[in-house]
Amino acid sequence: MASPSTSSLSFKAPSIQSTRTSQVLRKPLSFQPISFGRFQSSKNLRLQISCAAKPETVQKVSDIVREQLALSADTALTAESKFSALGADSLDTVEIVMALEEKFNISVEEADAQNITTIQEAADLIEDLAQKKPAA
């Protein structure tokens, strides 16, 4: 029987050739050959989607950052904007993280707070914590 733990199986059949093989099984020719080659790529796609934060979260974070750092309306804020590039020192970063904690009703740990340098990272952390909270 085909075991679910292998990611791709190839059955030796006279008419079908498979290039992705990690295991070659000798099966009676009455079995239909199945290729699990696409399983891996869809798993990777799924991982990618769960890491990115929603655009609304990024927008809310940008609004808070803009307010805390008193930026003018024409300074462009992208998800990759670094706080230090926007003129924020470590105290400003603490203020931003506190404002985010209040707005999203989350609690950021010391270690996580040190690692936030861009808007995208803040949004990702918020989504992460918001997901974990209902489970607790």
Closest CA to 117 of 99, 93, 100, 92: 93
H helix intervals, 13-118: 37-51, 55-68, 90-104, 110-115
Decide whether 8 or 92 has the Cβ nearer to other proteins: 92
Q: Note whether 84 binds other proteins by CB under 8 A.
A: no
CA atoms within 13 A of residue 126's CA, in its CB half-sphere: 26
Decide whether 25 or 113 has the Cβ nearer to other proteins: 113
Decide whether 25 or 86 has the Cβ nearer to other proteins: 86
Q: Note whether 95 binds other proteins by CB under 8 A.
A: yes
Helix or strand holding residue 55 (H, E): helix 55-68
Q: Note whether 103 binds other proteins by CB under 8 A.
A: no
Q: Note whether 110 binds other proteins by CB under 8 A.
A: yes
Rg (the chain; Cα; Å): 24
Whether 89 is catalytic:
yes
Q: Note whether 7 binds other proteins by CB under 8 A.
A: no
**Annotated active-site positions, please?**
89
Give the footprint of other proteins on this chain (CB under 8 A).
Answer: 89-91, 94-95, 98, 102, 110, 113-114
